[in-house]
Chains A and B, each alone.
Chain A
């Protein structure tokens, strides 16, 4: 990057970008700062004022004993629920997408493109439309209000998106590679294990991160299908922030929000490039 001279235009450019950066960072700042204040400081200070003394008490409360409705166990149980839900769901939906993508791109058959087209709608559809029937299905399967039920729903809902990602990625692999392997004597599974999967690291990363972010951050399925013991952290957070029972403790709310958002934030910071690839890939469909 060449160093350009400092013209008024450049100053304006940097200025605008800086202001924008402040706009985007402000809520994060507010969240952190508020969570470190005690109730007194919140009352006396304002949004941006720094804490006079650092108090980690709200973090303690948020994690261990804040109330989410009738339950006062903090965010902790819900956090672990999310973990138990997200990990299997992410792994299963990603693997599923990989195999589907593999078949749809390298073993095309008559009607496979049409099938893919119909599947694609599943990426766009509003999930409100499956909420009610799915509740009944989960009931019939004995999975209502359970983490396993949530995992099932997330796998079913995520399958269209993961298939899209893998299928598009594998389409760019030259057909000759598969032909060479067939001539060499490799069959369907062997080609997948020895040749295609080893080449899949980038898209695997993108899909895993994309799925994790979506599943961890989900609220709709969480609130519709979970019971007292299986609520994910998003539902817990929302309940905590919206309880009308006790006096509003904003510092606790902020601490809880940070806790809930931390995993996906961490993933973003550490592997942001894959996240962006997922976004741009997801939007450039087909």
Chain B
């Protein structure tokens, strides 16, 4: 049963007077029924607090929260009909897997026969049927994760909340579980809010991503929008690995046949009005070119198997360039660089804000 979620003007502050700390400044997000929204950002950005507020584990200082049209502020978690998966799984250690999964149903006085049926259904979906009689301590990390998800799934709630559920798993398991979560969302269609600090998880899992920093929503959009049209240098630098290269400089000539000059080089490409701007280029949009005017010295070569990342030291900073795996560049070489010129991100040098027309899907917050 998919429901919508409306976050309206949520603010959370601690302390009084001039010692007030605003953990969430003013958050407005509309989540459509069945959507998979990711809340991503560094530690301390407020994403977990926001999740707790949605869950009812914390109360906001101001604002409204509507789940399926009802304002749930003030309602205890048990009545919001939500399910949550925690980073540490939070399985009840003295109960069996089956009891863990069925606990919430037990609290809602669902008759035993129906409960058992549902537990088995869920165990089937998650392939943990053979673990039903075990205790959490006897399970591996991945198995515990599945049980935690089973517990949430058994509820058939209005909303699924995930709080960094994959952080405690090793890399390989994480990839597996990511696929599992995506599959479950596809099968169940339940509206999901998922918190993570890992931008790869964000990009692969979400239908929409909300990037947060210091309690402010920086940008909300599809993975594609966030990646290709980040709304400020923070979002641009946060999403994408390796990070986008930032080149601060001056617009010498604006417009289609423009020219951008910076310490140690200049580029001919369409420029905004400027004058003091920062150009952002992702490593895949910069290429090594033997006879280019913009030059630097190679300080690091990182082969990843499929590609090789070349880090070049230039007067304007370290520039990371993505080259094919068979490149023969070596550390210490002097190389030239060009940009493709078709994927330019321009940011105001002082504020870091994006300097082009606003998209309908991005949120521009000062």
Contact = CB atoms under 8 A, between A and B. Distances in A.
B77 interface: yes
Interface stretch (B9-17, B80-88, B207-215, B347-355): B80-88
B316 interface: no
B290 interface: no
Contacts of B95: 194, 198
Given A183-B77, A185-B78, A186-B78, A176 B90 contact: yes
B77 A177 contact: no
Contacts of B57: 179, 182-183
B172 interface: no
B76 A186 contact: no
A198 B155 CA distance: 24
B107 A186 contact: yes
B87 A184 contact: no
A191 to B, nearest CB: 10
B104 A184 contact: yes
A181 B100 CA distance: 10
A202 to B, nearest CB: 12
Contacts of B87: 176
B55 interface: yes
Interface residues of A, number: 17
Contacts of A176: 86-88, 90
Given A176-B86, A176-B87, A190-B107, A183 B55 contact: yes
B76 A182 contact: yes
B78 A179 contact: no
Contacts of B93: 177, 199
A49 B78 CA distance: 73
Interface string A173-201: 01011011111111100100011001100
Between B77, B92, B151, B155, the greatest number of chain A beta carbons within 10 A of the residue's beta carbon is seen for: B92
B179 to A, nearest CB: 24
A217 B84 CA distance: 50
A182 B58 CA distance: 12
Interface string B68-111: 00000000111000111011101111110000000110011000
A120 B87 CA distance: 34
A179 B104 contact: no
B86 A179 contact: yes
Contact of A174 (B56, B78, B88): B88
Contacts of B76: 182
* Number of chain B interface residues as a range: 20 to 34
A184 B88 contact: no
A198 B55 CA distance: 26
Contact of B103 (A179, A184, A198, A199): A184
Contacts of A179: 55, 57, 77, 84, 86, 90
Given A174-B88, A176-B86, A176-B87, A183 B94 contact: no
Contact of B77 (A174, A182, A194): A182
Interface string B33-44: 000000000000
B94 A184 contact: no
Contacts, number: 61
A189 to B, nearest CB: 12
Contacts of A190: 107
B14 to A, nearest CB: 12
Among B55, B78, B87, chain A packs the most CB atoms within 10 A around the CB of B78
Contact of B78 (A184, A195, A199): A184
B107 A195 contact: no
Contacts of B151: 180, 184
Contact of B107 (A177, A185, A199): A185
Interface in B140-174: 151, 155
A185 to B, nearest CB: 3
B92 A183 contact: no
B88 A187 contact: no
Contacts of B107: 184-186, 190
A198 B94 contact: yes
A199 B86 CA distance: 20
B90 A174 contact: yes
A182 B78 contact: yes
A185 B154 CA distance: 13
B230 to A, nearest CB: 33
B108 A180 contact: no
Given A179-B57, A199-B94, A187 B78 contact: yes
A179 B55 CA distance: 9
Candidate in A174, A179, A199 with the most chain B CB atoms within 10 angstroms:
A179
A182 B104 CA distance: 9
Contacts of B88: 174, 176
B88 to A, nearest CB: 5
A31 to B, nearest CB: 43
Contacts of B108: 185
A116 to B, nearest CB: 21
A195 B94 CA distance: 7
A111 to B, nearest CB: 16
Contact of A181 (B55, B56, B92): B92
Interface of B: 55-57, 76-78, 82-84, 86-88, 90-95, 103-104, 107-108, 151, 155
30 contacts: A174-B88, A174-B90, A176-B86, A176-B87, A176-B88, A179-B55, A179-B90, A180-B84, A180-B86, A180-B90, A180-B92, A181-B92, A181-B103, A182-B56, A182-B57, A182-B76, A183-B56, A183-B57, A183-B77, A183-B78, A183-B83, A184-B103, A184-B104, A185-B104, A186-B78, A190-B107, A195-B92, A198-B94, A198-B95, A199-B93
Interface of A: 174, 176-177, 179-187, 190, 194-195, 198-199
Given A190-B107, A198-B95, 15 more contacts: A176-B87, A177-B92, A179-B55, A179-B84, A180-B90, A181-B103, A182-B56, A182-B77, A183-B104, A184-B78, A184-B103, A185-B78, A185-B107, A195-B92, A195-B94
